[in-house]
Amino acid sequence: MGRYITQRLVYMVITMFLIATFTFFLMKFLPGTPLSSADRLSEEQQAIVLAKYGLDEPIPVQYFNYMVNLLQGDMGVSFQFDNREVTTIILDRIGPSLQLGFQAMIIGTILGMLLGLISAIYHNGVLDYGSTFTAVLGQSIPSFVFAGILQYFVGVKLGWFPVALWGTWQHTVLPTIALAIFPLAIAARFMRTEMLEVMGSDYITTARAKGVNKFGVVFKHGVRNALIPLITVLGPLAIGLMTGTLVIENIFAVPGIGEQFVKSINTNDYPIIMGTTLFFAVFFILIVLVIDLLYGVIDPRIRLAEGE
């Protein structure tokens, strides 16, 4: 196990290095200038300002400087937020995004699993159709459309929750629901399929034959075995939420990292683009690692050494 983790960590470092390199050069191909008032400055003046940020150097030199600084934990300062450390900006904004992400993930998967369970238990019944329909619908509406509808009807018309902004837990309700709908749908459908399969296996029949009641069987034997494959989809789901936060944060005016990322790309704020990309990448790789480990823990049949 220890060796496996070490090996994975080594790969992770290599991956990070390659991602940093790749993004750095890709970013340099981004058209446009990082100066926000380039239309008001003469070319000489633009050159002076660019030199201040070290952007007058040849790209390989810039790359070298960036990597050296990165190794020392310095991601530079933002262009659009004058002088502000990239690290500070990311740390400032990661809180709301993570909170929304986790809430959506937890609520989405739990509710989804319940829906899936109901479907499986009442297979081909009204409840099955109902929850399958909900799940398919949840998966089929673009999240920003759903968010807009939620905001207008639940926020404005019904007035149950604040329509936008950030602060109290009430503010997180609508964006969480908007984000949770997708993991909910996926979890529900996955759970249903897996449960149906599990419920058809021999050991369930045995348990039933031994007189364990229906719900007992479901919870004691079924759910646990259905969970294993579910965990495999959690990783991609968590990453999918990243896409969701980008638009949801915008619609609900949540000061998160996603909308900041889009903005920094549009304003050619190179240090923030690099910083957020690397941050996303670390997050991403860690999730994949955790899922792989979890998989091994939950299902003893899987030996990690073998997978490699």
Partner 1 sequence: MKKANWFLLVLLLALGMFLAACSGGDSDGGSEEAEGSGDGEDTEESSGGDSEQILNITDTAEIPTMDSSMATDAVAFQWLGSTTDGLYRLDLDANPEPGIAEDHEESEDGLTWTFNLREDATWSNGDPVTAHDFVYAWQRAVNPDTGSEYGPYMMSGVIENAEAIAAGDAEVEDLGVEATDDYTLEVSLEKPTPYFESLTAFGTFLPLNEEFVEEHGEDYALEADTLLSNGPFKFEEWGSEGWKLVKNEDYWDADNVQLEEINVDVVKETSAAVNLYETDEIDRVGLSSEFVDEYRSSEEFRVEEEPTLFYLKMNQENEILGNVNARKAIQKVIDRQAMVDTILNNGSLPGVGDIPQNFAMHPETEEDFREINGDLIETNVEEAQELWETAKEELDIEEAELGYLGGDTEVAQQMDAYIKDQLEQLDGLTVNVQSVPFQERLDRDTEMDYDLQNSGWGPDYVDPNTFLNMWVTDGGNNKTGYSSEEYDALIEEANDELALEPVDRFENFLEAEKLLIEEDAVIAPLYQRAAAQLWKPYVKDVGVNPMGPDYTYKYAHIDGKE
Partner 2 sequence: MENHKPNKDLFVPVDTRDDDSEKISRPSLSFWKDSFIRLRKNTGAMIGLGALIILILLAVIGPSMNEYDQFEQDLARAKMPPKVEGLEWMGMDGTLSTVQTADSLEQAETNALMRFNNDEDHIETNVLNDGSNGEEAEVEAVYDVYASKDMEGQNFWFGTDGLGRDLWTRAWEGTRISLIIAFLAAAIDVIVGVAYGGISAYYGGRVDNYMQRFIEILVGVPNLVIVILMILILDPGILSIIIALTITGWISMARIVRGQILKLKNQEFVLASRTLGAQDGRILRKHLIPNVLGLIIINTMFTIPSAIFFEAFLSFIGLGLPTPLASLGTLVEDGFQSLQIYPHILLFPAVIISLIMIAFNLLADGLRDAFDPKMRE
Residues numbered 92 to 121 that lie near partner 1 (CB under 8 A) are 92-93, 95-96, 99, 102-103, 106-107, 110-111, 114, 118
**Looking only at residues 63 through 122 of this chain, which bind partner 2 when binding is defined by CB under 8 A?**
none
Residues in binding contact with partner 2, number by CB under 8 A: 45
Q: Which of 58, 73, 142, 167 binds partner 1 (CB under 8 A)?
A: 167
**Phi, psi for residue 85 in degrees, rounded to 5:** -65, 135
Which partner from the list partner 2, partner 1, none does 127 bind, CB cut-off 5 to 8 Å by kind?
partner 1
Residues in binding contact with partner 1, number by CB under 8 A: 73
Q: How far is the CB of 145 from partner 2 (least distance, A)?
A: 5
Q: How far is the CB of 255 from partner 2 (least distance, A)?
A: 17
**Looking only at residues 257 through 296 of this chain, which bind partner 1 when binding is defined by CB under 8 A?**
259, 265-268
Q: Does 136 interact with partner 2 (rule: CB under 8 A)?
A: yes
Tokens of residue 30, six digits: 């981004």
Q: Does 262 interact with partner 2 (rule: CB under 8 A)?
A: yes
Tokens of residue 198, six digits: 């599990």
**Looking only at residues 44 through 63 of this chain, which bind partner 1 when binding is defined by CB under 8 A?**
44-46, 48-49, 52-53
Q: Does 173 interact with partner 1 (rule: CB under 8 A)?
A: yes
Q: Does 304 interact with partner 2 (rule: CB under 8 A)?
A: no
Q: Does 2 interact with partner 1 (rule: CB under 8 A)?
A: no
Which partner from the list partner 2, partner 1, none does 42 bind, CB cut-off 5 to 8 Å by kind?
partner 1
Q: Does 122 interact with partner 1 (rule: CB under 8 A)?
A: yes
Which partner from the list partner 2, partner 1, none does 252 bind, CB cut-off 5 to 8 Å by kind?
partner 1
CB nearer to partner 2: pick between 41 and 262: 262
Secondary structure (H, E, C), the chain: CHHHHHHHHHHHHHHHHHHHHHHHHHHHCCCCCCCCCHHHCCHHHHHHHHHHCCCCCCHHHHHHHHHHHHHCCCCCECCCCCCCEHHHHHHHHHHHHHHHHHHHHHHHHHHHHHHHHHHHHCCCCHHHHHHHHHHHHHHHCCHHHHHHHHHHHHHHHCCCCCCCCCCCHHHHHHHHHHHHHHHHHHHHHHHHHHHHHHHCCHHHHHHHHCCCCHHHHHHHHHHHHHHHHHHHHHHHHHHHHHHHHHHHHHHCCCCCHHHHHHHHHHCCCHHHHHHHHHHHHHHHHHHHHHHHHHHHHHCCCCCHHHHC
CB nearer to partner 1: pick between 131 and 277: 131
Tokens of residue 131, six digits: 């929850």
Tokens of residue 196, six digits: 């149906």
Distance, in Å, from the CA atom of 294 to the CA atom of 21, rounded to the nearest integer, reads 31
Residues engaged in binding partner 2 (CB under 8 A): 11-12, 14-16, 18-19, 22-23, 26-27, 29-31, 136-137, 139-142, 144-145, 148-149, 152, 189, 193, 197, 239, 242-243, 246-247, 261-262, 265-266, 273, 276-277, 280-281, 284-285, 288
